[in-house]
Amino acid sequence: MKIQVLIKKVGAERTGTSSTTGKPWAVRNILLGFEDETGNSYLYASVDSDVWNRLGLVEGTVATVNLRFRTKAFVNGFVANEIRIVEPENA
């Protein structure tokens, strides 16, 4: 999904190592602001740090981003939504 947003807040980079693959990862959380039929609305999205760096976006600017939505259902019944900023070819 492509959407025009205000980059409201850029979180600090978090890093770690995948317990599944053993590969390192780095991610940031981004607060996105936009207007809809009810007024000002917000989305909290994550983005891989390498994607964020390639996109060259900064806090306080208006930009068009590509979002990917996923829902994960776990065996214990817990359901989690994930919103990620992705590069256009991965949207």
Mean pLDDT taken over the chain? 94
pLDDT tens-digit map of 16-66? 999 999 999 999 999 999 998 999 999 999 999 999 999 999 999 999 999
Topology at the third CATH level for domain 2-16+23-90: OB fold (Dihydrolipoamide Acetyltransferase, E2P) (2.40.50)
Please give the single-letter amino acid code of residue 17.
T
Q: Where are the domains of the chain?
A: 2-16+23-90
Q: Provide, for the chain, the percentages of residues in helix, strand and coil under a 3-state DSSP scheme, each rounded to the nearest 5.
A: 10, 60, 25
Give CA 86 to chain center in angstroms.
7
Q: What does the pLDDT average to over 65-90?
A: 93
pLDDT(89) > 80: no
User: What pLDDT does residue 91 have?
Assistant: 59
Which tokens in the block code for residue 37? 């039929």
User: What pLDDT does residue 88 have?
Assistant: 80
